[in-house]
Amino acid sequence: MEDIDLIVDFGDRTDAEAVLVHWVYEDGAPVRPGEIVAEAMVDKVALSIESPQAGYLVHLVEPNQVFHSKDAVGRIVQTVAAPENAGAPPSHVDTVVPQETIPATLAVRRYARDKGVDLNTVAAHIRPHHRLTMADIDGWIADHHTMAEEPYSPFRRSVIQHLTNPGALPTTLQRRIAAGTATFPALARIAWAVSQALPRHQKIHGWATAEGFTPAQDVVLGIAAQTSAGLLVPVLPAHRTLEGWAESLRTLRQAVQANDLASLDFSRPSFVLSNLGPQGIEYFTPRLMTPTVAILGIGQGNDTTFPVSLTFDHRAIDGAEAAEFLVTVHQLLSS
């Protein structure tokens, strides 16, 4: 076979100007007959330029350069030496080929380089002579790249220890309870009802360990809060009135927002509340803050009811007793 020029004929649009958009293969790369080696644009119409025969590609027109009908934009040669690592002649090119012979635009090559991806590796997992795109690069990253593992901080390890007691038997019950009066914030209403119900249900109020259960004498309510330091559970003493709970919770919220964690009490709670209602969550599975025996999750409610999720340690209390506690909370809010 002889050397042959790559000539683009615009037909009767002899006066039109075209622009070479990009070369698919690098200069000197081996190509096969019928392969698209470049793309051009003429009168806003995309043109694909194919190789008429096997050989080595030589660029005669650079990307973004203007050319005219019947100009030679490139050449397929047989005897000119290919680049040092251009690989075997076209008839011997296999699935895995040197990067210079991989069909990909310069933009895709730059994208792969910026992402730290080797085009040879991507091409080896895609059908031979498929023209690589940015989507192929992204797909390879999604399938094969993993993020470096980041160790948990000492604080996070402490949280995990409290949330993953292997001896506990967490069980969750879910139902809707009355919303109570809208005069006070939702969390204040539920905190008040829970504090009134706990002394009547001692088995769900206290601490469970592998050795046994210790009932609490006083209500010390933990409020799960997302702080700048992570998930913390400051505690509040019991109040007899809704006004008292509303004020304490307002002070707690202000301290968290101001990052004034030193002013908060982090002693051991006898029961825990977790409120995800403001985030639009309805039901969820609160994790036990061991050794506290139970935690009540509060979801987004309406004017009449709230969805709640009660997780308790089944070592210390049975499901029927836990359900009765929720009945009492509901009745208190109903009244």
Q: Measuring CA to CA, which residue among 214, 160, 223, 161 is closest to residue 190?
A: 223
- Total domains in the fold of the chain: 2
**Domain of residue 199, residue span:** 154-334
Q: Which of 203, 172, 113 is nearest to 295 (CA)?
A: 172
Burial 282-297, CB ≥16 within 10 A → b, else e:
bebebbbbbbbbbbbb
Question: Do 65 and 112 belong together in one domain?
Answer: yes
Please indicate, yes or no, whether residues 93 and 173 belong to a single structural domain of this protein: no
Same domain, 162 and 138: no
pTM of the complete model: 0.56
**pLDDT tops 60 at residue 84:** no
Query: Is residue 9 domain-shared with residue 138, that is, in the same domain?
Result: yes
Answer whether 286's CB lies under 8 Å from 275's CB: no
Domain finish residue from 122, 144, 166: 144
Of 144, 177, 198, which residue constitutes the final position of a domain?
144
CATH of the domain at 288: 3.30.559.10
What confidence tens digit (pLDDT) does each residue in 281-300 have? 999 999 998 899 999 999 99
The maximal CA–CA distance of the chain, rounded, in angstroms, is 99
Q: Give the model confidence (pLDDT) of 303-326 as tens digits.
A: 899 999 999 999 999 999 999 999
DSSP string, 135-196: HHHHHHHHHH--PPP-PPPHHHHHHHHHH--TT--EEEEEEEEE---TTS-HHHHHHHHHHH
8 A C-beta contact, residue 118 and residue 140: no
Average pLDDT for 203-215: 92
Residues 317, 238 share a domain: yes
Nearest to 222 by CA among 210, 208, 247, 205: 205
| CATH number reported for the structural domain that contains residue 136 in this entry | 2.40.50.100
pLDDT digits 0-9 by tens, 233-279: 999 988 889 999 999 999 999 999 888 888 889 889 999 999 999 99
**Domain co-membership, 162 together with 181:** yes
Q: For the residues 82-89, what does the mean pLDDT come to?
A: 46
Answer whether residue 149 is part of any domain: no
Hey, which residues does 72 pair with through a beta bridge?
7
> Across residues 46-67, what is the average pLDDT?
88
> What is the structure's pLDDT at 85?
46
| Chain segment 134-167, per-residue pLDDT in tens | 888 888 888 776 555 677 777 677 777 777 677 8
The rounded percent of the chain whose pLDDT value lies above 70 is 89
User: Which of the four pLDDT bands, split at 50, 70 and 90, describes residue 219?
Assistant: very high
Last residue of a domain, one of 144, 174, 208: 144
